[in-house]
Amino acid sequence: MNYIEELLSALGPDKVLASDFDRFSYSSDFSPMGPGEEVVPDVVVLPKDTQDVLEVVKVARRHGVPITPVGGMTGMAGGALAIRGGILLATHAMGQVLEIDVPNQTVRVQAGCTLQKVNDALEPHGLWLPHLPESKWSCAVGSAIACDNDSTFGAKHGKILHPLLSLKVVDGNGRAIEFGHRKTRFTSSGYKLKDLFAGAEGTLGIVTEVTLKAEPMPPYRRVEMIVMPTLTRAVDLLTHCHRSGICLEAAHINCRHRLRFYTHAYVVKHGHEPEIPDWAGALLAFAVAGEREVVDPQVEWVIRQAEASFGGQQVRERDIVDSWWTSKHTLEFEPFHQKWPATQGEKMFGAADVGIPMGMLERFYDEGFMRLMAEYRLSVLGMNAYVESPNSIGFSLSCAVFVDYHDQDEVDRYRAFNLAMARKALEMGGTCTTYMSDTYLKIPVMREEAGEALEYYRKVKDIFDPLNIMNPGKKWEHATRKEGGEPHG
């Protein structure tokens, strides 16, 4: 009996998809890919719970078959591609909210539950999960952990590790183990092994259940945008806000190009792009949330300081601000006109997700993003610097370009651009990835960044996955892809 027959016997035909049509449906994510570069898994499995996942891993271990776990497949760097073939384990059938503990402000969910579904369940209780990327309607909790992605509200609430309390993982040894500190907010007991799974891309094990801390839902939120003369002045203003005690819930620094990507609703209403002053080098968008009598004075103070001391100017045309926030957070659905994901039909959104020290933002924009984009002959979409460090300044950059995925040469130039951007970030004291993870695309730079620590990475991998069946070819492992999209390595 081959392994697909064993999976059918163990799980049944409703959970094991082997037809060409079904397999091809899982052959790409939102990373730019050239013609024929789709990666078709050998079989797709739809487990419903931890026990189903255990059965899959047992079969995979017996046959030495790779497993690639995926969620909503909204990743932009190939993390959800089964580049070594084998089993693609789609977690979206594990989408249940298991427990809401209102007095302790926690929620227990299955890993395939989308971030929006979590919040829909919490809302009647006056709670919310602040980890909300733009893809929250399709991004699963397990995926958010696997790639350690960004959130709109990182300036106050950070990334996924901040609400992550505990998780259940099926590792490569075929065991289901709980890691974490249950419903408490922190612990000094043992090793913080749960943190290893943030950004691990499923290479250590498959997350099946997660306990997250929720927060009281703010009664009021105010969002504003300030045009700034330079990126550096925008950073200076953020520093001034933190030093002065302003509690920002969200903060995003856009270059002047990037605003165009976020204003579809404005263009539909007015028939033209929003006007940006010629002197503007950056746009700082921010939010403060809480009681109105606390929020409004803080927001007005920020605007006064920006205009009086930092050369800024408030964006007074409310439609521009509302259009940006609609695109960034509310994403009111308009068929075939959303920037995410429907408008990627002709030109894909490709981005370098590097991290750099806060004082390097302007220099990296000029010497890194703009120079390398021109060198690799790509079209600018723009840069967004997400603040993802609570109550301090820590940037996750989305340095985005348009990529014609019908043009293999352009796709290849984009990939080379991405590696060059990563190396430039390392040169400036930064990191090669901040929200997509390494996947297979950044393996060479990830190794350069890791240095001697790579030896320890290998040992950790051996403990959790001694047979190397958990998403092989990702992170630090060697992996290339043959012509036509077939993996080898």
pLDDT band at 72 (very low <50, low <70, confident <90, very high): confident
Distance CA 89, CA 41 (A): 10
Number of H helices and E strands in the chain, helices first, is 15, 20
Res 322: pLDDT: 87
pLDDT band at 488 (very low <50, low <70, confident <90, very high): very low
Mean pLDDT, range 453-482, rounded to an integer: 86
Q: Per residue in 234-270, pLDDT tens?
A: 999 999 999 999 999 999 999 988 877 777 667 778 8
Q: Per residue in 260-318, pLDDT tens?
A: 777 766 777 888 888 888 899 999 999 999 999 999 999 999 999 999 999 999 999 99
Res 274: pLDDT: 83
Mean pLDDT, range 190-194, rounded to an integer: 96
Report whether 163 contacts 214 (CB < 8 A): yes
- Judge whether residue 483 has pLDDT over 90: no
Residue 398 sits at φ, ψ, to 5 deg, of -115, 100
- Judge whether residue 144 has pLDDT over 90: yes
**Domains with residue ranges and CATH for the chain:** 95-216 (3.30.465.10), 220-330 (3.30.70.3450), 345-438 (3.40.462.10)
Question: How far is the first Cα of the chain from the last one, in angstroms, to the nearest whole number?
Answer: 27
Top pLDDT among 489 and 303 is at 303
Res 232: pLDDT: 97
- Judge whether residue 342 has pLDDT over 60: no
Amino acid code (one letter) for 213? K
Report whether 26 contacts 41 (CB < 8 A): yes
Radius of gyration of the chain (CA): 22
User: Considering the entire predicted model, what is its pTM?
Assistant: 0.92
Residue 454: both structure tokens together: 């790579």
Contacts made by residues 363-371, CB under 8 angstroms, sequence distance 24+: 363/428, 364/397, 364/424, 364/425, 364/428, 364/430, 365/231, 365/255, 367/424, 368/399, 368/421, 368/424, 368/425, 368/428, 369/399, 369/421
- Judge whether residue 487 has pLDDT over 80: no
Backbone region of residue 297 per phi and psi (left: phi > 0; alpha: psi in -120 to 50; beta: other values) = alpha
Distance CA 489, CA 482 (A): 9
Mean pLDDT of the chain: 92
Distance CA 295, CA 316 (A): 18
Distance CA 276, CA 256 (A): 7
Q: Per residue in 346-397, pLDDT tens?
A: 678 899 999 999 999 999 999 999 999 999 999 999 999 999 999 899 999 9
Residue 400, Cβ density class (10 Å: 0-12 exposed, 13-18 middle, ≥19 buried): buried
CB burial string 414-447: b at 16+ within 10 A, e below: bbebbbbbbbbbbebebbbbbbbbbbbbbbebbb
pLDDT band at 332 (very low <50, low <70, confident <90, very high): low
Residue identified by tokens 């340095």 is 399
pLDDT band at 457 (very low <50, low <70, confident <90, very high): very high
Distances (CA, A) of 427 to 366, 382, 383, 439: 14, 22, 19, 21
